Amino acid sequence: MAIFDLDGTIIDAAPDMAAGINGLLRARGLPPLQLAEATPLLGDGLRVFAARAFRLRRSEITEGEVAAFVDGYVQAPILETRLYPDVARTLGALREAGWRMVLCTNKVEVAACSILRELGVLPYFDAICGGDTVAFCKPDPRHIEQALARARLLHRPAVMVGDNRADVAAAQAYGMPSVFAAWGYGRPDMGRGATKVAGRFDELPGLMSAALIGWTSG
């Protein structure tokens, strides 16, 4: 069984998130973020991203601005967001091979579902667990637990796949192996502690199997 992160792992959502926050920054007379500035701020949900963006411009975001950003993003989350290469094909192959898959993301759940549905990969997942519908978010391992519980897949051997330190840390705390998605937003050092490191999405089937075998036999 596999548990996937979303942003930086399955999708590249940085252009849409940057565009959304840049409207608020411009309204404040602050310089907009370049894409290279926005991507390192991702990984801990929409609200945290918005706060980080304003702090990068030496300012503090108001609660009203946070709400406006989240609402605006939820209404139009997929103008430029795309799947990473080989995602749909690989998820299909995993499903055919008998893998059960769950999505565990710090993103707002309704936006995650909308994006996956629009990109045609929602049916591959047994459950979606966003950061706004549970009490604890990654790196808290209880987020993983809640995601598995929704899919009725608790206590089964599983591997976490993600591009952020939060994914690796959540997997370690839960007691499961992880594969670091090196193509995503996270710096290479964020993969420290991961069981395996993948350079491309289509490498995942072999690496996930190896991670699970090594974990259970170790």
- Residue 33 pLDDT > 70, yes or no? yes
**Interacting residues of 35 by C-beta distance below 8 A, sequence separation 6+:** 14, 15, 18
> For the chain, what is the domain count?
2
Distance of CA 60 to the CA centre of its chain: 25
The sign one gets for the Cα dihedral 50, 52, 58, 59 is positive
Confidence of residue 67 (pLDDT cuts 50, 70, 90): very high
- Out of 75, 97, 124, pick the residue that ends a domain: 75
What is residue 124's predicted lDDT score, i.e. its pLDDT? 98
Q: Which residue, 75, 104, 126, sits at the end of a domain?
A: 75
Output the pLDDT for position 43. Answer: 87
Structural domain boundaries, residue 59: 14-75
Q: Please tell me which residue in 5, 7, 126, 167 is annotated as part of the active site.
A: 5
76: confidence class by pLDDT, cuts 50, 70, 90: confident
Same domain, 131 and 212: yes
Q: Please give the mean pLDDT across all residues of the chain.
A: 95
- Pairwise CA distance, residues 122 & 80, whole Å: 18
Q: With 0-12 CB in 10 A as exposed, 13-18 as middle and 19+ as buried, what is 64?
A: exposed
Q: Are residues 170 and 207 in the same domain?
A: yes
In the numeric block, which tokens belong to residue 181? 């998605």
Q: Are 99 and 42 within one domain? A: no
Q: Select from 75, 91, 107 the last residue of a domain.
A: 75
Q: Token pair 């565009």 is at which residue?
A: 19
Residue 94 has what pLDDT? 98
Distance in angstroms (rounded) separating the CA atoms of residues 119 and 127: 16
Q: What is the CATH classification number for the domain harbouring 27? A: 1.10.150.240
Active site residue 7: no
88-116 pLDDT, tens digit each = 999 999 999 999 999 999 999 999 999 99
Tell me the whole-structure pTM to 2 decimals. Answer: 0.94
Check whether residue 40 and residue 60 sit in a common domain: yes
Domain at 164, CATH number: 3.40.50.1000
